[in-house]
Amino acid sequence: TTTKPEEGQEEEEEDDDDDMNEGNTVIGLLGGGQLGRMLCEAANPLGIDIAILDEHNAPAKQAHNTNRHVVGSFKDPGCIKELAARSDYLSVEIEHVDTEVLEDIEKNGVPVEINGEVVTHRPPIHPSWRTLRLIQDKYLQKEHFKSSGKTIPIAEQIAIESGDAALDSLKKAGKQFGFPFMLKARKGSYDGRGNFKVDSEDDFAEAIKALGTLPLYAEKWAPFVKELAVMVIRTEDSDGKLKNCVAYPAVETIHEDSICTKVFMPPRDVSEDICEKARKLATEVISTLWGRGVFAVEMFLLEDASLMINEVAPRPHNSGHYTIEAVPYMSQYKAQLHAVLDLPVPDKLIPRVQSSIMLNILGGAKPDSHHHLSGLARSTYDDDMDVYLHLYNKESKPSRKIGHITLTGFCSVQELEAKAKPFIDLVDQIRL
């Protein structure tokens, strides 16, 4: 089966049957949102071709011209096989993909026709479908860390029964953890959309109403003082053995209503010692997984200065956007390309600025609610603070991530925060 080229593409390019990316290595990417878009922005100057599987004109497709894009869903097995047939490697910008078909492609390959002959094509998949499948289920993900043989602290958790048994199961969680505790969807969650904070037994009915149709688990409340995140590059030998896990600096992430709004590098009021521990822990966590690529490790910093793992994302991540400008020789996107293609990556990742703040631009009540903020980014020049605007060309909807602003400084993060106040005030206003 062949998927048709993008509508209109044939007409536009009728005199150009040529392959504009001829000879370039092709990474097939499942998903074409802003992460894929920024991956394409990193790939373009490197002469790497990215074939995107997503809907027509998805944000990533707008950023990279190729005749290999596939129109369809990254959950559709037929589309994923079509993408595989067009690609030298496969990777993802989102973990919620069909891993059965990825496993099938790794084991059995896909047929492709070369010079009239059908051969079996097996593009390497990074990170491994094993990692994607494990991470898709947040409960199993953490059970894995618990039984990995490494010291990886996680919140106590129990699986919640579905259907009529859910209520008893929630009662058990309340007894075991006390209140509040967090009820979470095991799969498919992002931006906190599958989470429900349970404050008392009185919330059980509402919690079941909100999430009851999904496989669930309960997590003990983590009384954190801060949330930290560390991006890690994972590389492997050609025989699939772990080569290295290299950590970026630790950052502080601020979540409001469970959605990441701000990122501070370095974390404010956190010792270098704790930042080093966070990086060490992140590399331990990622060493237990499979495949090459960049990974995000989200964690909680508790009152007693200990760290606890919240969850892992097997791809570039919102908390790593700052690396585009702060670690320009190896941003998280370039690192993803290098890791997937098994190109060299540095064994130290040292930022070229002293501090950085990333502010998410979330859609507001009106389609133009963010215009003041983007206008300020366009008009601010400051000797001590550089301002970088990234818009994803997504339709604005309330609380949707439609862009971000990175600020970098040659000053302390506190001084940068003071300079950034007009930006931060506008970011906060959009949410009101």
Is residue 219 a contact residue for ligand ATP (CB under 6 A)? Answer: yes
Is residue 137 a contact residue for ligand ATP (CB under 6 A)? Answer: no
The least CB distance from residue 192 to ligand ATP, in Å, is: 4
Q: Given the rule CB under 5 A, which of 70-78, 116-124, 308-316, 368-376 is the region that contacts Mg ion? A: 308-316
The half-sphere exposure of 398 on its side-chain side, counting CA atoms within 13 A, is: 6
Is residue 93 a contact residue for ligand ATP (CB under 6 A)? Answer: no
**Partner that binds at residue 341, options Mg ion, ligand ATP, none, CB closer than 5 to 8 Å by kind:** none
Q: Strand 181-185 relative to strand 117-121: parallel, antiparallel, unpaired? A: unpaired
Instruction: Work out the number of other CB atoms within 10 angstroms of the CB of residue 220.
Output: 18
The least CB distance from residue 110 to ligand ATP, in Å, is: 30
Q: Which of 251, 174, 184, 180 is CA-nearest to residue 216?
A: 184
Three-state DSSP state, 323: helix
Is residue 194 a contact residue for ligand ATP (CB under 6 A)? Answer: yes
Residue 182 in contact with residue 157, Cβ under 8 Å? no
Is residue 221 a contact residue for ligand ATP (CB under 6 A)? Answer: yes
CA distances from 93 to 17, 56, 69, 269 (A): 29, 16, 15, 32
* Member of 122, 209, 255, 366 binding ligand ATP (CB under 6 A): 255
The least CB distance from residue 132 to Mg ion, in Å, is: 13
* Member of 258, 271, 412, 429 binding ligand ATP (CB under 6 A): 258
User: Sign of the CA dihedral 123, 84, 56, 430?
Assistant: negative
Span 269-328, contacts to ligand ATP by CB under 6 A? 298, 310-311
Span 309-368, contacts to Mg ion by CB under 5 A? 311
DSSP string covering 150-187? S---B--EEEE--GGGHHHHHHHHHHHH-SSEEEEESS
C-beta closer to ligand ATP: residue 189 or 356: 189
Binding site for Mg ion (CB under 5 A): 298, 311
Binding site for ligand ATP (CB under 6 A): 155, 182, 184, 189-195, 219, 221-222, 227, 255, 258, 298, 310-311
